[in-house]
Structure 1
Amino acid sequence: MAGPDAELTIRAIEAADTYPLRHAVLWPDQPLAYVRVPDDEAGVHLGAFHDAELVAVISLFVTGPEARFRKFATRPDWQRRGVGSRLLAATFAAARQLGAQRIWCDARQDAAAFYTRFGLRPEGPVFYKGPVAYQRMRCGL
């Protein structure tokens, strides 16, 4: 299998293009509608493609100086290969380009260490969505 730098591109996609990967990676036991976000149509959605195959997705929502990213999903066979790091870096760049000064997310607690490498820091208490523990994380851009 080729490395992540071979033929990896990141580009804007439609919200609906994110749904299958969001569903398969984040909430496979829920109905597909569960992975939709009410303001999906207002977001900027990015996909990482290896050749023409979508391997990771993320959604960015900017309101004034605040940006939030949500529904960050990387196919399991592409995890721990740098794809998510490249996609998150592109998301931070897009947020800055759209005028955001800060960025935040509700991170799955088991992924918090990954986000700290990008400067995000925990904020507030741990909370749960179903059985999954989350931590709000934030940083300046």
Structure 2
Amino acid sequence: MILPIHYQETYVIRQEVLRKGKPIETCYFTGDTEKSTAHFGFFHEEKLIGVISVFNSPSTLFQEKSQIQIRGMAVLDKFQQNGIGNQLLLHAENYCKQQKVEIIWFNAREKAVQFYKKNAYKILGDAFEIPEVGMHFVMYKQVMEY
């Protein structure tokens, strides 16, 4: 089951999956507290096991006026490879369609690129490094056209 969650609920999953061994403070993302940001959690037997957040964060890399950035998508290791990431991503995409978003974009970790490609996302440009996190690619998908 996927439900809206409070931004602070994302931290335990973000820390375990995306910021392993780093302080909980590194799990706060600029924009987490904005009213335009939405956070969703995947629950299994009433336990939060996956998260995804969508930010109203336009990038100058795209011309579309209505953009959403996905950040902090993470599923606990022991629940990965079970389609939960796909469900979270689809939920975020459906949310974006309801919001009449034209394009979804994000910085994908190198190891997640194939997952996103399978979901019809495309790479824009070359790989780049986010210090203390690793190599990333900008990826995007056209959601709606006007």
TM-score clears 0.5: yes
Give the aligned partner of residue 42 of structure 2.
48
CA drift at 1:61: 1.1
Q: Is the 8 A contact 1:107 1:137 kept in 2?
A: yes
**Partner of residue 112, structure 2:** 111
Q: Give the deviation of 1:130 after TM superposition.
A: 2.5
Q: Do the aligned partners of 1:62 and 1:100 also contact (CA within 8 Å) in 2? A: no
Q: Which amino acid aligns with 2:41?
A: G
Secondary structure of the 2:13 match is helix
Runs of 5+ consecutive residues of structure 2 not aligned to the other structure: 58-64
Q: Which residue of 1 aligns with 2:28?
A: 36
The whole-number CA distance in structure 2 between the counterparts of 1:137 and 1:122 is 4
Q: How does the TM-score come out when normalised to structure 2? A: 0.87
- In 1, the alpha carbon distance for the partners of 2:92 and 2:23 equals 27
User: Larger strand proportion, structure 1 or 2?
Assistant: 1
For these two proteins, the number of residue pairs brought into alignment is 133
Consecutive aligned runs of 4 or more in structure 1 exceeding 4 Å deviation? none
Q: Who is 1:123 aligned against? A: 124
> Which whole-Å CA distance do the structure 2 matches of 1:67 and 1:76 have between them?
26
Which 5+ residue runs of structure 1 have no aligned equivalent?
1-8
Q: CA RMSD in A?
A: 1.1
Q: Contact 1:62 / 1:95 at 8 angstroms: preserved in 2?
A: no
